[in-house]
Structure formats: C-alpha cells, structure tokens
Copies of this chain bind each other. A is one copy, B any other.
C-alpha cells in the first residue's frame, strides 16, 4: 500500500493543512457574500491538495510566489492565520496592514513572497528568489505556483528559460484547474498538458493528480531532490479543477452546476484523503475529527481576531511607501 510509508505526523499535517484552507475559504466566502469583506476574492476550494502537498516539504527559508488565488498557498506555507484573515477583512492588524487584501496577501516572515493581482507576475519573482539562493549558496528552493491560464503569459517563458539557462533552484508548480476565469483553458491554450512546455526549456517535468495529496507530495519530493542536487529547475503539473466561481460572486454562466458538482462529489481532495486513510486504516475517524476541531478553533479565532480588529487610520495611507 502506498501510504504505509507516511507516518502519522505527516498524515495529520496533510489533513490539517487541507482542512484549514477549506474552512478558511468557506468562511471567507460567507463573509464576502455578507458584504463584510471588500475587494475581490478568489477561492482555492478544490485545489487544497496542491498547496498542502507542496508546502509540507518546505521550510520558512524556502520561498513561494503566489497568484491572485493565494489564500491556500499562504496558509499552507504557515502564515499566521489571524493576520491573513484580518488582512482579507482590510484590518490594520492584517499581514499587510490592510493595504493589500486578498489579492495581495503576503507573509515574508515565512518566505511567502506575495499573491499577485497580475496573472503571471510570480514567475520572475520566484526565479529571482532562486537566483538569490544560488548566489548566496543556500540550500533552499523557490516555488512558483501558477494557473493554466497564466502559462500563456510571456513571463512564463522568460522566467522558465532564465531559470533553466542559469540552473536555478526553482520549482514551477502548475495548478491546471481547467479554467482561466470564464474560459476553458483549452480554447486559448494550444496544448493539453501545460508541462509539455518544459521541454522548450530543457527542463524535466511531471504530471500528478492534483486532487490526490499523496501524488502531489511525491511528485514535489521528486522535484525537490532534482533541484536540490543542483540540476536546475523542475516543472510539476497538478491536474485539478476550480470548484468555485472565478471570484466570489461570479455568475458562472459558462458552465453547468452539474459539471461542478460531479467533481465536488467525486473528486474532492479532502474527501478522497479521508476515504483513503480510513479505508487503509491509517487514521481513524476520531483522529480526523480531532484535527477538524482544531481547525475549527483556529478559524474561529482568526475570524474573531479579524472582526475585532480596527481598520487602519486614514492617515496611514502615506506609510510604508518609501523606506
């Protein structure tokens, strides 16, 4: 059985990270729909296995560059949940003091270099962070999370070529969730597997089931070994599906509820994990429940923290522009 090699701690981490993201997103969705959260919110529901499977193998000294859909990455990388929640509510106590919001969530203290409102803005940032790692002869890695749609940006190409030409320690993790906003990715993307593009940069690649955290974890470990051996970058494509609308409030006129529900029911990374560990008797329902309870407490705490925090004072508008 493939899972016997995973110890209890690791299994708990997987479940904990995924559940934390899921419950965080559900909470944010509710408060957004209630009009309590300003701006744009892009939810990571259904894709939790990717950020969780990847970030489990990273430390605070490793970097990630994220996307507009960045809550999952941020949480999986270990950012302070209270601050993340407060930021999304626009509070002074948020990680960005209320200046960023959902689309610009970041926590530099754990190597999370920021979400990005510009699709494809993260490729070069991650590449640059990897360059710094190499120049400083550190043993860390840098990870760029990105969507299928963003792989059509020129920055994808420039970053991947530079990373490979310079053999930088960066792992490009494609979250192929089948959609770029309202557009099925295949209608504007010339290839089925984004990872085939890695060949154009002399870069190894691997495709994994992005809704199977074990597959993501293993695939990423392979990437990590390759990259840490000094071979240069690696391309990991995780196939998944965007369960929610592109943003909260999206009328979703471009697909049917049935299509989405089908996947939510049958290919939900969290349900799949639960069923698998239970049927393999690697975890008990009791254990899972304990984790869920822990998550619930943390979410509630983060929510209270956010709700009870103050908004920034208008005068703070001029802070933090220049050093």
Interface, chain A (partner B; CB < 8 A) = 152-158, 160-162, 164-165, 187-191, 196-197, 199-203
Contacts and interface: CB of A to CB of B under 8 A. Distances in A.
8 contacts: A152-B161, A154-B157, A160-B190, A165-B187, A165-B188, A190-B203, A196-B200, A197-B200
Contacts of A187: 165
Contacts of A202: 190-191
User: Which 8 A-B residue pairs are closest in the complex by CB-CB distance?
Assistant: A154-B154, A157-B157, A197-B200, A164-B190, A190-B201, A200-B200, A190-B202, A165-B190
A189 B157 CA distance: 11
A158 B189 CA distance: 10
Nearest to A203: B190
Nearest to A202: B190
A191 to B, nearest CB: 5
Chain copies in the assembled complex: 2
Contacts of A153: 154, 157-158
- Secondary structure at the A interface, as helix, strand, loop or mixed, is helix
Contacts of A201: 190-191
Contacts of A197: 199-200
Contacts of A189: 161, 165
Contacts of A188: 161-162, 165
A226 to B, nearest CB: 15
Given A153-B157, A157-B158, A165-B187, 18 more contacts: A152-B157, A152-B158, A153-B154, A154-B154, A154-B155, A154-B157, A154-B158, A157-B157, A160-B190, A161-B190, A162-B188, A164-B190, A190-B200, A190-B202, A191-B200, A191-B202, A199-B199, A199-B200
A84 B108 CA distance: 56
Nearest to A167: B190
